[in-house]
Structure 1
Amino acid sequence: MQKREKLAAMGDERVLIPGLPDDVAIDCLARVPHRFHSCLRHVSRGWRDLVTARAFFQHRDRIGAAEDLIFLVQAEDEGYGGGRVASGEGGKAAESLPPVYGVTLYNATDGEWRRSPAPVPLFAQCAAAGGKLVVAGGWDPATLEPVAEVRIHDLFSGIWRRGAPMSSPRSFFAIAAAGSTLFVAGGHDGAKNALRTAEAYDVAGDQWTPLPEMAEERDECQGAVVGTGGFMAVSGYATERQGQFGETAEWYDESGGEWRKVEGVWESGGGGGVVCGDGVRVWRVEKGGVSEYDVSGKGWRKVAAAPTECMTATAAAAARGDGGEVRVLVVGKEGEEGGNGVWVMEAGSGKWRRVEMPPGFRGFVFSAAAIRL
């Protein structure tokens, strides 16, 4: 009853829906699909205060109305690479242009696709933390230099804003979030030097804190969080070993404030795979299949074959649905022609299903994040 009273108090002490008690009105509004929430915010002050409150989304989850949202950092142009070509004029050769990247939302609950109109840096990375989508780093589309930019999308209010920048530019780095804390590590700088540096972002306080350096440089590493504050920077390579991915990972224990090396996490010299986690488990997705990592130190165990149509995985995210079941969403190159596809694996059974990407949403996907709202 206290929870209902707390939620009703968000209605600005006004009647939310005439003729209905506020607790009934809240239940009705909580069942409105997420795609209409931007409209709800404009109906009245009471509705705006209600649908932008964290407790409202917690209530949606309690009554089974929450939806699984997958955010993709995606090239707007169709095809695997996402590059553009400007037509030549006056006999001039056609000019290759860098792709335009933006943020796409795929609602895995109702199948809706939509894209934010605001562009983001090339190869920016994303993660969901503290009810916000954080888009960080990547390349400036004009100079093709790494950036330290951070953009925040408040998933409760629907507002985009600039966040405090990272301490230094980086791209192709490991990223993952635990609660309201975001971790980044590795990648490379403007001189294409692989990095050992790492930092943590307090989303609520909009503040970055440097972390101890990793033992190794790790360009093009992958990130995942396991347990409470356990952040893994997986594989990658040093500056002088360009493209030769290492087999180790480094695990940062937030409670101890130290990194420790984990052996045998990646196939030595191998690439072309992605890592994702749900905060408890970690999955590696590659052409050879999907493996789950045993955090007790026993290494990887294969849990499913990869979809036969998926030639190369480029991004993955793990979403926990109703009843606690986990679905691993994978985006990658589909077939030899180089188009893009989306597949979802039920983590319990290892069964796959293909997700239809509508026209206009088949551009290259570089990063993915999942959140339940």
Structure 2
Amino acid sequence: MGSERQEGVLLIPGLPDEVAMDCLARVPYRFHCGLRSVCRGWRDLLGSPLFYSQRRKTGKGEALVCLVQALVPSSSAEEEEEGGAEKAGEKKKNAARAPPCYGLSIYNSTLGEWHRLSFPPASGLAVPLFAQCAAVQASGKIVLMGGWDPTSFDSVSDVYVIDLVTGRGRRGAPMTPARSFFACAVVGPLVYVAGGHDNQKNALRTAAVYDTAADEWRPLPPMADERDECQGVALAGEFWVVSGYGTDSQGRFDPAVECYDPAAGRWRKEEGLWTAGDGLGGAVVPPRSSCFVLEKLCHLYCNEDRREMREYEETERKWKVVGETPATLRSIPCVASVTGGGRLLAVGSDGEHRHSAWLMEGASRKWTQVDTPAGFAGFAYSASSILI
């Protein structure tokens, strides 16, 4: 890792490199971009996957939840102070007419901090509406895929890859076809996508897998059925595409699940896993092997008639109620399992016309509302977690 540095030059003068690396590993991740610019030795160190592997092994890794989130405009109260109520009202009307903007928000569940990942204008990177977010732990990369163009509302084939190790972002090989509202999950080092709809709003059966290292898409065999607005999870080394509906059955969600086995290279269909009539009434949460309770597929309901958390018993092939969802969470949440923490993060409406976040501890299944700054109170569409 330090082999490229000039021989005899220490990371920190007066300290052995092992001690210096331990010191640098303790610096919060949000400062790493600045650390890389200090000197060549620090740049090489912090650009190495081995450095972040060491952080995780020594318990200094930070669990980041990455969210594709609507950007919240400045408050009308601030605008009134600057230019009066009339001016603030006009700005509010103009904002309502403007195309919505999305960004990539980061919640550091280890430190309880929020920040937004910014992209240099020259990079050409922008977050489409309803893009899917996938965190690839093996490579330390965040992949943003598909969604809608904010002006035309057409599905896009755009792919953006943000390398959290080097701090750089790039465009990836585009998806074919362009798709929105599709299933997405990471199995091992690869990103799997399936279903959704195309520019003509036709539901899709097609599927593909993306290799971030090779920057290459490979087609997969198509699913048995079209599945628009489906949800994707990784379970037991397989890619599960949950529910969805076909072009001719708008809004009538299929209770079946299709599972792709990468080793066998084929799909199988599981009938009746999704309760008839569930629709989008709940969020499906993928399991994490490091979680005490969340080793099973989870399903959250957050509506007035039903407020519960369920787990899927694979041996009995049925759902079991294991707890409640927060009384103050009033909408279908965007949910992610927090890598390495045995927790869930849910982002949804708090009933006060703003969005907030809640954390659930896996062992106790108790929820705590997270302090969510006003700038991060926008609608969250997709989320994925990574330990860095």
What TM-score, normalized to structure 1? 0.90
Contact kept, 8 Å, 1:106 with 1:114, in 2: the verdict is: yes
3-state secondary structure, aligned to 1:199: strand
1:1-373 alignment to 2 at 5 Å? Answer: 7=1, 9=3, 13=7, 14-77=9-72, 96-118=97-119, 119-129=126-136, 130-228=139-237, 230-270=238-278, 271-280=280-289, 281-287=296-302, 288-296=307-315, 298-321=317-340, 325-335=341-351, 337-373=352-388
Alignment partners' CA distance in 2, 1:349 and 1:11: 48
Distance 2:375 2:234 in 1: 32
SS of 1:60's equivalent in the other structure is: helix
Q: Secondary structure at the match of 1:71?
A: strand
TM-score normalised by length of structure 2: 0.86
Report which of the two has the higher share of strand.
1
CA contact (8 A) 2:61 2:387 kept: yes
Distance in structure 2 (CA, Å) of the matches to 1:50 and 1:193: 48
| Structure 1 stretches of at least 4 aligned residues deviating more than 4 Å after TM superposition | 7-13, 86-89, 92-95
Q: Deviations over 1:251-301 (max 9, x none)?
A: 100001111111232221222322222454322222232222234462322
- Higher mean alpha-carbon deviation, 204-213 vs 259-268, is at 259-268
Partner secondary structure for residue 71 of structure 2: strand
**Distance (whole Å) between structure 1 residues aligned to residue 380 and residue 327 of structure 2:** 19
**Displacement after TM superposition at 1:347 (Å):** 1.8
- 1-side partners of 2:346 and 2:111: how far apart? 18
1:94–1:66 CA distance, 2 compared to 1 (3 A): closer
- Does structure 1 conserve the Cα–Cα contact (< 8 Å) formed by 2:72 and 2:374? no
Residues 132 and 184, structure 2, Cα contact 8 Å, conserved in 1: yes
Q: Aligned with 2:331: secondary structure? A: strand
Separation in structure 1 between the aligned mates of residue 253 and residue 363 of structure 2, nearest angstrom: 29
Change (3 A) 1:26 1:88: closer
> Are 2:288 and 2:339, in contact at CA under 8 Å, matched by a contact in 1?
no
Partners of 1:93 and 1:101 lie apart in 2 by 17
CA contact (8 A) 2:288 2:337 kept: no
**Structure 2 unaligned residues grouped into runs of 5+:** 75-87, 120-125, 290-295
Find the aligned partners of 1:126 and 1:157 in 2 and give their Cα distance.
19
- For the 8 Å contact 1:68–1:108, the answer to whether it is kept is yes
Task: Say how many residue pairs are matched.
Answer: 354
Equivalent position amino acid for 2:355 in 1: N
Cα separation, partners in 2 of 1:19 and 1:181, compared to 1, 3 Å:
same
- Contact 1:314-1:367 at 8 Å conserved across structures: no
Displacement, 1:171?
0.3
